[in-house]
Amino acid sequence: MGRQHNGSRALGLLTLLAASATATPLVKPAKVVQTVDNTLKGVTANVKNLFLSGTTPNNTSSRCKVYPGDRNWPSDAAWASLNKLVDNRLLNRPDPLAAVCYNGPLYNAEECVKVTAHWNESYSHFDNAVEMMSPVAQGMTCLPPNIFDSHNCTRGGFPMYVINATKPEHIQHGVNFARNTGVRLVVKNTGHDFLGKSGGKDALSVWTHYFKDIEYFENYEDKEGNYSGPAFKAGVGVQAFEIYKAAHEKGHSVVGGEGETVGIFGGYIQGGGHSPLTSLYGTGADQVLAFEVVTADGDYVIANSTSNTDLFWAMRGGGGSTFGVATSVTVKAHPDLPTTASRFSFTSEKMGNETFWAAIRDYVEYFVPNADAGTYAYWTLIPNVFTGIFSFGMSPFFAPNKTLEETKALLQPWLARLEELGVNVDPNITHFPSYYEAWQSSFPLEAVGKINATTGSRLFPRANFETKEKRDELFQNLRQSSENNRVQVHFNIKAVDPANSDNAVNSAWRENILFSQQAVRWNPNGTAAETLKARQDFQSGDMQRWRDISPGAGSYLAEADRLEPDFGQAFWGDKYPRLLELKAKLDPYDVFFAHTTVGSERWKVESVDGLPNENGKLCRVEN
């Protein structure tokens, strides 16, 4: 087994021999569907070597990736050849949205007002080739001045070149070029990632947003994958609102996030992915039947239950931008279940703190039965330091496959207790004929682009709810975080796995009852040192308290803090050793990198301000 190399390619042959000489059961992608080497005819001889697939790069010993000004930075002719190979879809320094607000050729005061007004909407950002919805991770170098004045619009953590890819070959050329030149490669889909994993200063970016095809299979048979039934094959650029609509039209639903515009088949699904349907069907990654993937060698392969099974295992939960670039994902389809949903809220303003907290404490009693009943609750706890008022928001309580009566019965014990406490809520409990309609009605578009906050998270396992003492302890720790001015977002869900899939999803998800997030906020005008201190204190303080009461549990890699300590254990638990081994086998030269991904410990972005962001060179960590 091994890549089917052309016998004349000595490097490939060596790789093949090396692989068969070791006794390891881990194999490199076995079946080459397609290489792009036969498309290089028009490329001039002096740069042709930069486009070959399957090569061992020459420059693995330099400390940093290759940057402008370095001797090995590709020539203009080399970039021009890349542009030609990708059908003239290489964008050179595409502009960020707020460029219209700053001196320069794009300056336009009217446009700037519009950009500013819609800045916090994801719709503004995902059609832009470079925008990242986390300016904090980008380096804050080009925001509308009324939101944050960066004085000049500079590129910061934005990539330099972007392949606006529409075919796997475009990605193959990009991967080969990055591997052969040592230029940093990033992959961007929608740019939603909170940790900024879709950007990187002066990188070459592969932008997957326009892989939009959706195909329906009425009966997908996969014996080894333990599945027989309907399925959708989606291009990796497909977003939640698109796949939910397509599924609904066929009388189905698929497991995807709550957010309207999140890319379901890029970072979300490879990183695990939780959903309003997770308490019924498991994580997003548990639904995957096949990926089409461009590997680190630049080959285009299929990873499924029988083909490239290591890659298939790793990409179901191991995280994006690590093992390959997916171009399509095939997932299970489920029935479009009738669903009941409810939104309600209350604050401490009239009732006072003790009543408010008694109400929250009582809610903790119902997390286990509600998750076990297959429901999903997305609820928030928001403090206001100026007024001293706390707010609770249920947004929403979501009960797929439950009637109105069943849902009322689930909520009734807590609602009765709220009434006893004198907490006035009048929940609007509504039944919808389908998941799709319930989802559309229940989840308003969320704001993106926060400039002075970052979120840490914890997957609180069932063990935290087993005794009254444990529930008290958990409650006290949530209350403490509110009193310390943390905005909290919680998901009361469990990640069942009916198909018993063996994949790379963090085992901590299987124990989860409450997935909890809290945020640290800082003055955006403060110094870098002040920001860093606030972020570090948050990790050693409020986040450490949450870790201390849930030993051995984890955090969710897509909704987490770049400063999460020991992130390998936190994001993958007992799956991490195998993931590290597979990273070394499948991407031995670290062509793929994003912060806090598997194997990323070997590298560090040396940011210009010392903060955790993408505005700096990517260099090896010296040891």
Ligand X SMILES: Cc1cc2nc3c(=O)[nH]c(=O)nc-3n(C[C@H](O)[C@H](O)[C@H](O)COP(=O)(O)OP(=O)(O)OC[C@H]3O[C@@H](n4cnc5c(N)ncnc54)[C@H](O)[C@@H]3O)c2cc1C
Interface residues toward ligand NAG, by CB under 6 A: 31, 49-50, 55, 58-59, 62, 72, 91, 117, 120, 129, 151-152, 164, 166, 180, 210, 222, 225-226, 280, 302, 304-307, 352-353, 388, 401, 428, 430, 441, 447, 451-452, 483, 500-502, 521-525
Q: At what angle do helices 404-421 and 353-364 cross, to 10 degrees?
A: 140
Cβ at position 352, least distance to ligand X in Å: 33
Say which entry of ligand X, ligand NAG, none residue 321 contacts (CB below 5 to 8 A, set by partner kind).
ligand X
193 near ligand X, rule: CB under 6 A:
yes
Select 279 or 550, whichever has its Cβ closest to ligand NAG. 279
Fill in the per-residue mask, 371 to 400: x = in contact with ligand X (CB under 6 A), - = not in contact: ------------------------------
Cβ at position 244, least distance to ligand NAG in Å: 17
Find, among 135, 114, 116, 44, the residue nearest to 85 by Cα: 44
Residues in region 436-465 near ligand X by CB under 6 A: 446, 448
Pick from 138, 190, 348, 555: which binds ligand X (CB under 6 A)? 190
Judged by CB under 6 A, how many residues of this single chain contact ligand X? 34
Angle at alpha carbon of residue 35, lines to 31 and 36, rounded to 5°: 170
Give the span between the Cα atoms of 273 and 545, in whole angstroms.
25
Cβ at position 417, least distance to ligand X in Å: 29
Angle at alpha carbon of residue 259, lines to 255 and 260, rounded to 5°: 95
Say which entry of ligand X, ligand NAG, none residue 216 contacts (CB below 5 to 8 A, set by partner kind).
none
Looking at 8-94, list the stretches that DSSP marks H as alpha helix, in order from N- to C-terminal side: 10-21, 45-48, 76-85
Select 96 or 267, whichever has its Cβ closest to ligand X. 267
Residue 472: its H or E element: helix 468-483
Q: Give me 1's structure tokens.
A: 């087994």
258 near ligand X, rule: CB under 6 A:
yes
Select 133 or 553, whichever has its Cβ closest to ligand X. 133
Give the span between the Cα atoms of 131 and 127, in whole angstroms.
8
Fill in the per-residue mask, 568 to 607: x = in contact with ligand X (CB under 6 A), - = not in contact: --------------------------x-------------
Select 91 or 558, whichever has its Cβ closest to ligand NAG. 91
Burial class (CB in 10 A: 0-12, 13-18, 19+), 241: middle
For 441, residues 6+ apart whose C-beta sits below 8 A from its C-beta are 341, 430, 432
Pick from 52, 162, 459, 558: which binds ligand X (CB under 6 A)? 558
For 597, residues 6+ apart whose C-beta sits below 8 A from its C-beta are 197, 319, 320, 321, 322
Say which entry of ligand X, ligand NAG, none residue 330 contacts (CB below 5 to 8 A, set by partner kind).
none
For 530, residues 6+ apart whose C-beta sits below 8 A from its C-beta are 522, 523
Q: Percentage helix, strand, coil, to 5, in the chain? A: 35, 20, 45
Cβ at position 271, least distance to ligand X in Å: 6
Length of the chain: 623
Select 62 or 391, whichever has its Cβ closest to ligand NAG. 62
Give the span between the Cα atoms of 178 and 468, in whole angstroms.
55
Please give the residue ranges that form the binding site for ligand X (CB under 6 A). 133, 187-194, 197-198, 208, 236, 257-259, 262-263, 266-268, 270-271, 273-274, 320-321, 325-326, 446, 448, 558-559, 594
